[in-house]
Structure 1
Amino acid sequence: MKLNLKTTLLTLLLSAAGSVSAFAQCDKTATLTSSTTSYVDNTGAILRSKDEDTKVTITKTDLTIAPGEGEMTGKISSSTCDWKVPFKEGKTVIKALMTGDGPDKHVTVTIEGKEGKVTLTFEAEEMPGKKIQVVADKFE
């Protein structure tokens, strides 16, 4: 019985530590780089792909997207974060008003990790039916 209690307590402590770690990463600055941008429709079918270096930086309050030569920045208006394993298994959804190249855009960015692969999907209210996806080559 004593061993069972120690094992249960250790399991609970490790679980709590993992949860705190996953939660803590949500408030940290993250930078993602990708070498390919894909344009997809509502069903997820790829319409076209483009080889270009894209850098996405996310802080607690700001979102910066720099594909190729351009750059868009925005203030984050809302964010949800649920990662079981930081930047490997989980999901973050960010809403922001982006300014930069062209007219302002109200965007939703979904960052999803499955089996260690991190994918970002960008959707703008002003561009219904069109999505932009990048897969992280590097995540810091």
Structure 2
Amino acid sequence: MMPTALLNDHGRRTTLRTEMEEICLAYFNELFASTKTIDPPVFEQIGQAPEVLSAEVGMALRNMKVGKALGPDKIGTEEVKAGGEVLTKALSVRFTKYINEGRILEQWKRARTVLIPKKGDREDIRN
């Protein structure tokens, strides 16, 4: 259920959707901000990443839960699993290609965040 109001950093309550979106954006930007540096992957040094194996894709597909919300492509987990070995192989080839090209598809960058309040004030995003 979408909250009807949120508190900003100063404790002021807002019911305006644009302000609530700004509160969420600021909260998650701070939550996921990192000051740690990460060493570049080894394949950058050797020029090419190891191949994504069909077995790896198959294992990932088997572990996907059914009945989850559809992504922007409107393809459900059930349909992906029904693709079997043919789809598993095609996905492994495609993923390997994307890694070697350094590509991240725009669809992979999009997500919907659902706020699930815990105990306490439902208008405080930290709950």
Query: Shorter-chain TM-score category?
Result: under 0.3
Report the structure, 1 or 2, having the larger strand content. 1
Point out the structure with the larger helix share: 2
TM-score, normalised relative to structure 2: 0.23
- The higher relative CO (CA closer than 8 Å, separation ≥ 6) is in 2
Larger radius of gyration: 2
